[in-house]
Amino acid sequence: MLVETRDLSKVYGHNPACNKICLSLEEGQVFGLLGPNGAGKSTLVKMLLGLVWPSSGQVLIKGQSVNNLAIKKTTGYLPELFRLYEWLTAQELLVFYARSYGLAKHEQSSAIAEALELVGLRGREKEKIKGYSKGMQQRLALAGAILHHPQLLFLDEPTSALDPIGRRDIRDLIGILKKRGTTIFLNSHLLSEVEMTCTHLGFINKGQLIVQGAIKQFLQDNQQLVIETGNLDANLLQGWRLKNKLLELTPDKIVLNVESKNEVPSIINELVRRGVPIYNIDINSRGLEEVFLDLIGDKGGLS
């Protein structure tokens, strides 16, 4: 287990920002933490980094304390609210980061060039940061987070300032880092982005981790099979044992709830055997938005 928390809690005054969170991440996962504003996502990330001291409970990275310096050196962090030294150039800032990470001098320039390339800022590194747009600053902060090839990378809303091209670039970048074996912990409100990048998900609300698991588990449940037919004679379906899975039945359409694609061939076979004309077949997976609303729904949001 790369990351493990045991009953991890943080209370601010009387406000339990995180409440007895038991979370686990294996190496190589891209883990997306989803939850409404104020749910406790950033607080959790800061505790995982050792930046916020837990009120109770434990954080273990590779079975060790998060405050172990050797562990800290193998993590990277893009904070949700970051400020860069605006009077420096991007190159100067990254040299400062590289030194802080303890990179040897001969490694620094190639690491910086590679990070700038990965975030799409190559060629702009001689400019002062104060002249950078918000999105460029976010890219630069990300370059700073990956400069030292961390094994574990925390990204707290990494695309909040980015345009659609920038978001796609970050998705691609996450793909590259994943191939390198980097484990990534991502906080994001952009569900489509999470759906495209994450291998695992956790849902948090009001400081409580509601559920965590592989993304497939959330998206494969309850798929809808939509069968287009025409002038359907309902008598053809008499005695059909799958009628309990029916969501919609009209002369032109049959919609069924299916748990996995494996059920589809036998359903179609049966309909053909009964003489039902079939013009088209579609499977609509439930999107993450529906899953999110089901799990968090009206219970979500600031209290």
Ligand X SMILES: Nc1ncnc2c1ncn2[C@@H]1O[C@H](COP(=O)(O)OP(=O)(O)OP(=O)(O)O)[C@@H](O)[C@H]1O
Shortest distance in whole angstroms from residue 110 CB to ligand X: 35
Counted residue by residue, the chain has a size of: 303
| DSSP state for residue 53 in the 8-state scheme | -
Contact 185, 155 (CB under 8 A): yes
Q: At what angle do helices 105-118 and 134-146 cross, to 10 degrees?
A: 140
Compose the 29-68 pattern: x for residues touching Mg ion by CB under 5 A, - for all others.
------------xx--------------------------
Compose the 47-86 pattern: x for residues touching ligand X by CB under 6 A, - for all others.
---------------------------------x------
Q: Looking at the DSSP assignment, which residues form a beta bridge with residue 282?
A: 226
Pick the closer one to ligand X by CB: 41 or 149: 41
Shortest distance in whole angstroms from residue 120 CB to ligand X: 25
> Which parts of 70-109 interact with Mg ion (CB under 5 A)?
80
Q: Looking at the DSSP assignment, which residues form a beta bridge with residue 4?
A: 24, 60
Shortest distance in whole angstroms from residue 41 CB to Mg ion: 5
Within its chain, how far is the Cα of 248 from the centroid? 33
Q: Which of 12, 85, 96, 279 binds ligand X (CB under 6 A)?
A: 12
Q: Does 15 bind ligand X (CB under 6 A)?
A: yes
**Of 22-30, 41-49, 110-118, 259-267: span binding ligand X (CB under 6 A):** 41-49
In whole angstroms, what is the distance from residue 140 CA to residue 134 CA?
Answer: 10
Closest C-alpha to 265, from 239, 227, 222: 227
Shortest distance in whole angstroms from residue 43 CB to ligand X: 3
CA 101, 50, 177: angle at the middle one, nearest 5? 55
Q: Looking at the DSSP assignment, which residues form a beta bridge with residue 187?
A: 33, 156
Name the binder of 43 from ligand X, Mg ion, none, CB < 5-8 A by kind. Answer: ligand X
Residues in contact with ligand X, total (CB under 6 A)? 12
Q: Does 19 bind Mg ion (CB under 5 A)?
A: no
* Direct distance between the N- and C-terminal alpha carbons of the chain, in angstroms, rounded to an integer: 34
Pick the closer one to ligand X by CB: 148 or 206: 206
Give the tokens for residue 84.
């860069």
Chain residues in the site for ligand X (CB under 6 A): 12, 15, 17, 35, 37-43, 80
Chain residues in the site for Mg ion (CB under 5 A): 41-42, 80
